[in-house]
Structure 1
């Protein structure tokens, strides 16, 4: 019953629905108890020879009327209960979805996608069942069982009723024991399902890699192993579940046996009539459903209890990024980093240290460095995917970025990450993600600025082409440029390109950078790259190594320093010249072959 206490907030919120449902069930049960009494009444009149056609007709009409009332009231009670449980499912899904959207990346490192999906589907469905069919079952069982026993005692014999319920305490103890077992076992089964769900999602997403490495058979074996584990744990749940009905039938059979033995003796002694005995056995038969429902209820509630515990565990996880309400001042102006050090929780060494610089509004900042030098992490701190150790480590417009609402802060940025994510929708919907009702003119302009418009128009359905999940039907360079167009649609105050030109050729890169320079005058740009050509025109360039800034300045200043930047730039320029020479030689060789 703990899940009912945990859901008390919802029952209070929807008390009107539940009161209507319980009242309808109460009246339904009362109406269903009248026919057995009338049957006994008719039997006694038949035995005494006093039954008339008029009396029989009245009894039949009453029973038909009661049947109609029972039909209507059962419809009402189920509509109220199932409607309430559907609303609970919607509330829990919305709460979970909001939780998922607000959590920082560290949350998704701790919980895998398949597990989170299982919480939002199977677990919520189990909790819904507790608040819907679970309430209906226990309400029906208690009301029907209680009123049936009451009618047996009042209208037939209190003595025989007490004899009939002697085995019931055994049922209560057994079902309570089974319920505890079911809670722990079902919780393990749900955990196994989460792992299987995650494996399925991961395998489908990575099917290209799996096939390219010829790993299909091993992947299928892993899936079968997880699937067998799910089946095994659910079989253990089923075994416990299967104990309920035999136990109930055994208890009920014992009650029948006692009732028939002692009822017959009481009838022979003249304590009850044959009509009373028929009525009593009919009432006893009506106890079959309440007793079965009791076992069914414990099954549902324990499943709901286990699932709600899993949901609450997710909801109790605290966000690493502290959220505050939006303020009146819009973030704008200079961006200042004055960070002595940053490290993740549970890590001994700092990931970033001695990061101090000021990015004036309207400037273009280039950030370069080897892989793992801290470029992307610095940008993610600016976007508050993680919080720094001290509130004033990063400021925007003269205020700490933590003082702004998270939505308010991120609305100023257009971010193109290293890992480009496209939704399984049309190209138009992907580009216009932040502004679905944008005009075609603005859409085409953003696409032209990112040098993707011509590629899109060459597709069979142009902007209405469906790209498939994660843009599976597009090349890496096309996905990058669509992501850039999506960011440009916002016309953000600060545009961040985190190595977002790595999959395009040098000519396309130059064209995109030229377009950005022309169209974003007066606005701030931040570009991280491995190719020096992507940042050489920036107003300020930072060179990072091992989490700190080792060089800074303009392109010319850094070349004059003859440090890492100069060495890398010259090496890349030499590689580019070699590639051009090689291409020219191939082309000349082809022309020479054509002369023969």
Structure 2
């Protein structure tokens, strides 16, 4: 029952709908009390020969009219009650999605995609079902049960009513115990369902790798084990669920037995007529639904309560990065990075130490270094995926922690290491950040990203569906489409996080040439492993072990002994060796 207290905020807000539905349920309950009474009168009247055929037909017509009115009222309360519960589903999912969109990478390190999907779908459905069917069964069972009991005890026989209700307290205690057990087991079953969702999502997104490594049987075995565990936990729920109805029917059967035995004795001794006993048994039959509804209500409410606790736990998580209150100043400004130390959450070792960078408007910053040196971490901190506790990053000499997140990020256009494309057309993917972009604007940025010709070779050109995650495109095409998408935003600061790794040297040179023309007055930050992408940078910083080991322009770093010169020479030698077979192939073709 605690679920109703937890959802009281919604019930108070939508009180008109719920009050209307409750009032109609009460009216329906009152109308349903009339037919048993009428049948009792008719039975006694027919036995005593007081009623004519026309009078009997009149009573039958009355019963039909009541049935029609009850049908219409049931239609109205269903619209009111279930309409309110479906609106709750919309709001819960909106809140859940808004919460997910506010979270930062640290949140997704702790929560897996399948679990989040399960909470947004299956758990919300359980809560909505409880807010609709649960309220219905609670009100209907209480109103109908209380009304029937009052009529039975006041209009027929309170002694027989007490006798028939002897099994009910025992039944209520047993059902309460079942409800507590169901709550705990259903929570475990939902967690298992989340794990199964995770397994399914991971298997589908990595199907290419699974097939490439020949891991189909192994993955199938793991999935089967996960499914078996989920099935076992749901079976434990079903075992408790299966106990409700037999308990109710046993209690009702005992109540009927006691009512028939006691009522027959009263009829024989003249303290009750046969018609009254018939009415009493019909009223007792009306008690079957309230009793079943009560058990069903405990069932669905406990499921909903377990599901809502999982949803509330997710909604209660505050973002690790708090929004600022100051809008980002208009106009281009300097970006100052001063990080004394940064550690990722729940880690002891510092990822960055003494990183200081000043970037003026219109400059290009190059960041390079070995794998794990901290390049991507610097870019994440600039985007405020995490906050710096020791040190700060400033824009227009205002700390990023004071700037509104939306305002700050609207000044950035980012292309990450792993591009993500939606299952939509090429044009829609490029226009993601600017849905109202014209085809001319889309084609312009596609040319800047050197992907326009590739798009035209696709079956439907810019209207080609790229498939889930851009499955039909090569890695280089996906990267260049992502670059075009960022360029369309026309943002002040462009961040390329190793975004040219999948393109060849010639294409890379063309893209960088186009970026220099596009980026006049704009700030560009490029992180790259291939150093040829950084030769035109205003400043290059070499990251090693979380700190800046070298800095300067390309010519200065090539002249210095260190990682940059060694890696540049190695890459130049590698490129020269790769050019030899190509030249030989061209000579053979000419011959």
Cα distance per residue 1:528-577 (max 9 Å; x no partner): 10111100111111111011111111111112223221221122112212
Cα distance per residue 1:113-141 (max 9 Å; x no partner): 00000000100000001100111111111
Matches within 5 A, 1:421-432: 421-432=420-431
Match in the other structure for 1:321: 321
Matches within 5 A, 1:323-338: 323-325=323-325, 327=327, 329-330=329-330, 332-338=332-338
Q: Do residues 131 (structure 1) and 131 (structure 2) align?
A: yes
Q: 1:355 is paired with a residue of what secondary structure?
A: strand
| Distance of 1:234 and 1:81 partners within structure 2 | 29
**CA offset at residue 341 of structure 1?**
0.6
Match in the other structure for 2:116: 116
Match in the other structure for 2:149: 149
**CA offset at residue 428 of structure 1?**
0.7
| Distance of 1:86 and 1:309 partners within structure 2 | 19
- Compute the RMSD of aligned alpha carbons: 1.2
Q: Check conservation: 2:328, 2:403, Cα contact below 8 A.
A: no
Cα distance per residue 1:329-361 (max 9 Å; x no partner): 347400001111101222212100011121011
Cα distance per residue 1:258-307 (max 9 Å; x no partner): 10111011111111111000000000011111111111111100100110
| Distance of 2:462 and 2:439 partners within structure 1 | 10
Match in the other structure for 2:461: 462
**CA offset at residue 95 of structure 1?**
0.7
Matches within 5 A, 1:33-48: 33-48=33-48
Cα distance per residue 1:18-39 (max 9 Å; x no partner): 1000000000010011010000
Matches within 5 A, 1:229-378: 229-325=229-325, 327=327, 329-330=329-330, 332-378=332-378
Q: 1:319 is paired with a residue of what secondary structure?
A: coil
**CA offset at residue 52 of structure 1?**
2.1
| Distance of 1:227 and 1:559 partners within structure 2 | 57
Match in the other structure for 1:564: 563
Count of residues in correspondence between the two structures = 591
Cα distance per residue 1:482-510 (max 9 Å; x no partner): 00000000011000010000000000000
Q: 2:346 is paired with a residue of what secondary structure?
A: coil
Match in the other structure for 1:76: 76
Match in the other structure for 2:580: 581
Q: Check conservation: 1:2, 1:305, Cα contact below 8 A.
A: yes
- What 5-or-longer segments of structure 2 have no aligned partner? none
Q: Check conservation: 2:412, 2:495, Cα contact below 8 A.
A: yes
Match in the other structure for 1:449: 448
Match in the other structure for 2:531: 532
| Bigger mean CA deviation after superposition, 453-462 or 261-270 | 261-270
| Distance of 2:490 and 2:244 partners within structure 1 | 64
Matches within 5 A, 1:172-191: 172-191=172-191
**CA offset at residue 588 of structure 1?**
2.5
Q: 1:551 is paired with a residue of what secondary structure?
A: strand
| Distance of 2:578 and 2:81 partners within structure 1 | 72
**CA offset at residue 587 of structure 1?**
2.8
| Distance of 2:514 and 2:150 partners within structure 1 | 85
Cα distance per residue 1:75-103 (max 9 Å; x no partner): 11111111011011111101110011110
Q: 2:521 is paired with a residue of what secondary structure?
A: coil
| Bigger mean CA deviation after superposition, 445-454 or 131-140 | 131-140
| Distance of 2:432 and 2:586 partners within structure 1 | 43
Change (3 A) 1:590 1:570: same
| Distance of 1:369 and 1:79 partners within structure 2 | 63
Q: Check conservation: 1:414, 1:496, Cα contact below 8 A.
A: yes
Match in the other structure for 1:403: 402
Cα distance per residue 1:227-265 (max 9 Å; x no partner): 111111111111100000111111111100110111011
| Bigger mean CA deviation after superposition, 330-339 or 405-414 | 330-339
